[in-house]
Amino acid sequence: MDKNLIKWGPWVIGLGVAYYVFSKARNTVEEAVDTVGKPIGGALAELQFLINGSHAVTSSYVGFVLDSEKLDENYKVKDMLWYEGISKLNEGNDAMLREIFDRNKVLKPQYIVLLDGEVNPEILFTINKA
């Protein structure tokens, strides 16, 4: 047993250290790639929009359904893709989202009554007037 420990012990310790160093280096590389890759990906997407003649989807109607499935049990937005999609449809939706959610994307208490219903400027005016 002692011979095996002396023979293989340094190798096992060395492998453990190598694994630790490699995993830390991999995390650092992934973070660096994300930092550089996301802006480049966004620029390439814009370039593709220009080449294809496509554009972002917009809507002239100001309003949306406040889907409770998009929020967690604390009324915090859990589906950021939904939030960003609604906000980019038009400036009115973006303004309403900023009004009904706080800076941490948690639904303000006075707007909980809007869950699973339509949100539009008239409804917000009525709630804020009361």
Who contacts 23 (Cβ-Cβ below 8 Å, separation ≥6)?
none
Q: Helix axis angle, 121-129 relative to 91-100, nearest 10°?
A: 30
Residue-wise pLDDT tens digits, 27-85: 777 777 778 777 887 788 778 877 877 766 677 788 999 999 999 999 999 999 999 99
Q: Alpha carbon of 96 to those of 29, 43, 47, 56, 79: distances in Å? A: 39, 28, 30, 20, 17
Considering the entire predicted model, what is its pTM?
Answer: 0.56
Percentage of residues of the chain with pLDDT beyond 90: 46
pLDDT at site 102: 95
Domain edges within the chain: 1-55, 64-129
Two structure tokens written together for 23: 């995993």
